[in-house]
Amino acid sequence: MERLHILELKDVETEEDARKIEEILKSMEGVFHAEVDLDSEVVEVRYDDSKVTKNNMKDKLAAHGYTLKI
C-alpha cells in the first residue's frame, strides 16, 4: 500500500547532503518520491510499504552516514 510519511533527519546541513539523501532513498525499490526540507530537517517520502519499510530506509541512510529518526 502506498504511504506518505514525513520523517525527521539529524545533522543535515548542506544542499549536497539533501541531494544525496533524496538520491539514496529514490534508489530503493518501492520509494516513489523523496524530498528533503533542510530548514525543518525532515524528508517527505512516498513509498510502497509492501516493498520497503521505514527501518529499511533508516538502515540504508545509516550506511551512508545519515541519521533518520523514526
pLDDT in tens, 10-56: 989 999 999 999 999 999 999 999 999 999 999 999 999 999 999 99
pLDDT in tens, 51-67: 999 999 999 999 999 99
Where in the chain are the domains? 2-69
Separation CA 14–CA 32 (nearest Å)? 23
Q: Whose CA is closest to 67, among 40, 41, 32? A: 41
**Range 2-69 classified under CATH 3.10.100.10:** no
φ, ψ (nearest 5 deg) of residue 9: -110, 160
Q: Name the band, by pLDDT with cuts 50, 70 and 90, for residue 70.
A: confident
Q: Where in 1-70 does DSSP place strands (E)?
A: 2-10, 31-37, 42-48, 67-69
